[in-house]
Amino acid sequence: QVQLVESGGGLAQAGGSLRLSCAASGRASSTYDMGWFRQAPGKEREFVAGITWSGRFTAYADSVKGRFTMSSDAAENTVYLQMNSLKAEDTAVYYCNAPVTYRSGRYVTGAYWGQGIQVTVSS
């Protein structure tokens, strides 16, 4: 059993920044590859960013490359999503997930989810 608790969402103006945190606890939580997914109104859930459990490798959706950065703090069992140069299109509910796997060119979600946190960007 793994628990994921998110924090750091809220409101930002276009061009601004927010940082999301996802704190993991439970058996083997620190060995899972982690990811962020988001779902905007009227759209399907989509992959945003991922990181290997070691923190050495990251991956990003094309829509956020160069603007978002995912990182990890092994000592705190926490991953972060630093979001810069925010756009109105980034407005969504963001979910932390584990374990994320890569299958046939796609990032696939695992069984454990954060509670979801709202990010709203005003234009």
List Cβ neighbours of 33 (8 Å cut-off, separation of 6 or more).
50, 51, 52, 53, 98, 99, 100, 101
| Residues 22-68 pLDDT 10s | 999 887 666 789 999 999 999 999 999 999 988 889 999 999 999 99
CB 70 within 8 A of CB 93: no
CB 25 within 8 A of CB 77: yes
pLDDT of residue 28: 67
